[in-house]
Amino acid sequence: MGGLVFYALTAVVALTEAIALLVLLYYYFVSIFGWQKFDEEKDYTPEKRFALVTAAHNEEAVIRYHIESLKNFNYPRELYDIYIIADNCTDRTAEIARAEGVLVYERFSPQRGKGFAVEWMFNQLFEMEDKYDAVCLFDADNVLSSNFLLEMNAKLKQGFLSIQGYLDTKNPNDSWVTASYATAYWSMNRMWQLARYNLGLSNALGGTGLCLDFQTLKKYGWGATCLTEDLEFTMKLLLNGIRTAWAHDCRVYDEKPVYFSQTWRQRTRWLQGHWDVAFRYMVPLIKKGIAEKKWYPIDGAIYLFQPFVIMAMLFNFTMALIATFFSDPIYAAPITSAMPAWFWVIFGVLGYCYPMLGLYLEKAPKKAYYYYITYPIYGLTWFPVTIWGLFKHGNQSEWAHTRHTRGISIAALEEAPIAAKVTPE
């Protein structure tokens, strides 16, 4: 009987190993297409009119620097308006924003969270007689490169309806946590986002620094109010045949959590939302891809499958650890023999070293390679975060706000060699 149990576990381990391996190999294959950045024909002539929308909850420490960067865009001021949503604020956010001469909409509602605030603001814009061509969405702690709207204007003129800008980090040197975020984003932007764009797949909206065609947004509505509203809207667009494009040449500098307790709360929220979106959208996307014989919906479903892959890897690690306590090879070997140990050692080393290619291609600062020493610690924490997110995924109303206490100007960032800066010719 005991032998049957162990052989059954061997079959489960083999299956989970195969699933994890196939998904990881797929992502390695996709990443190859990010090795080269191709030149694009772009028309930078200002034409599109934008509504810039920022949801802010008690952001008095950073809101002025955010608005300063928006007003500093290298784009005709008459072609864009700045809207600040002072969402359930109890500080001076609205007062400071008004002093900066922008449009401030105050919202007080028991429905907390960015998704609800953004949907409320979009409904206000829909009643403004369609005077905008596109809407850009930001977080209050962001500062933006001056060419942001020029790039979005060019992408819209190329025919794209949903666009994500390059997500960068404005505080990579604050702690090992922010350093881990920075290295992850620099590598991911090149080896995942740019690669997907080069392949013609859909990119993922990142919650900030995104641009949406106004008529498309109005037609389908926002409707994304879970804890990862950006992921939900990405998949909603995919179900309607709309792929998100990538704007590699403009930067969105985002403030990352400094302390581990903050990143734990933030990433738990991400995984709560990810599980929720996966359960609702994964199967419909697969059905769409099969029915229409198109790969990009299935690719979207594979992206949603990531938490399942993490759980499969955790199961395999746990089983391998348990097997080490059995002295009888009859029982220990079957559990861990689906793939030989040397294979997983090589695969693990590759998994650790390969993303460094993204840092090199992005011309990240030399410090980034030292940051990578602590990155495995950050990576391993995805296991408990994923489990906790699964247990809590039914609660999509628990918003964990990250408090920002220090403003950083765009001028200070663009003078510093954080990573390669690109401006239009």
Give the start-to-end residue ranges of the domains of the chain: 1-425
Which one has a higher pLDDT value, 140 or 391? Answer: 140
Number of other CB atoms surrounding residue 221 within 10 Å? 13
User: pLDDT tens digits, residue range 330-376?
Assistant: 555 555 555 666 777 787 788 888 888 999 999 988 888 877 777 78
8 A C-beta contact, residue 84 and residue 97:
yes
Cα–Cα distance list, 178 to 140, 354, 377 (Å): 18, 21, 13
What pLDDT is stored for residue 270 in this prediction? 85
Q: Rounded to an integer, what distance in angstroms lies between the CA atom of residue 387 and that of residue 156?
A: 39
Q: Rounded to an integer, what distance in angstroms lies between the CA atom of residue 388 and that of residue 398?
A: 14
Q: Rounded to an integer, what distance in angstroms lies between the CA atom of residue 131 and that of residue 153?
A: 15
Tokens matching residue 285 = 């996307």
Taking 80 as the threshold, does the pLDDT of residue 416 lie above it? no
- The sign of the CA dihedral 240, 206, 273, 181 is positive
User: pLDDT tens digits, residue range 66-88?
Assistant: 999 999 999 999 999 999 999 99
Q: In b/e form, how buried is each residue of 87-125, taking b as 16+ CB within 10 angstroms? A: bbbeebbbebbeebebebbebeeeeebbbbbbbbbbeeb
Taking 60 as the threshold, does the pLDDT of residue 417 lie above it? no
Which one has a higher pLDDT value, 160 or 263? Answer: 160
Minimal CA–CA distance to 234: which of 246, 247, 219, 224? Answer: 224
> Which residues on adjacent β-strands are paired with residue 165?
247
8 A C-beta contact, residue 178 and residue 274:
no
8 A C-beta contact, residue 210 and residue 164:
yes
Q: How far is CA 222 from the centre of its chain?
A: 18
What pLDDT is stored for residue 326 in this prediction? 63
Sheet with 134-139, side-by-side order of all strands: 103-107, 80-87, 50-56, 134-139, 210-213, 162-169, 245-254, 143-144
Taking 80 as the threshold, does the pLDDT of residue 236 lie above it? yes
| Reported pTM | 0.88
**What is the dotted CATH code of the domain comprising 1-425?**
3.90.550.10
What pLDDT is stored for residue 129 in this prediction? 74
What average pLDDT does the structure give for the chain? Answer: 86
Most confident of 122-136, 231-245, 304-318, 371-385: 231-245
Minimal CA–CA distance to 84: which of 32, 127, 138? Answer: 138
Helical pair 176-188 and 260-292, crossing angle rounded to 10 deg: 20
8 A C-beta contact, residue 123 and residue 53:
no
Output the CA angle 117-123-126, nearest 5 degrees.
145
If pLDDT is split at 50, 70 and 90, which confidence band does 420 have?
very low
What pLDDT is stored for residue 419 in this prediction? 39
Taking 70 as the threshold, does the pLDDT of residue 327 lie above it? no
User: pLDDT tens digits, residue range 172-198?
Assistant: 888 888 888 899 899 999 999 999 999
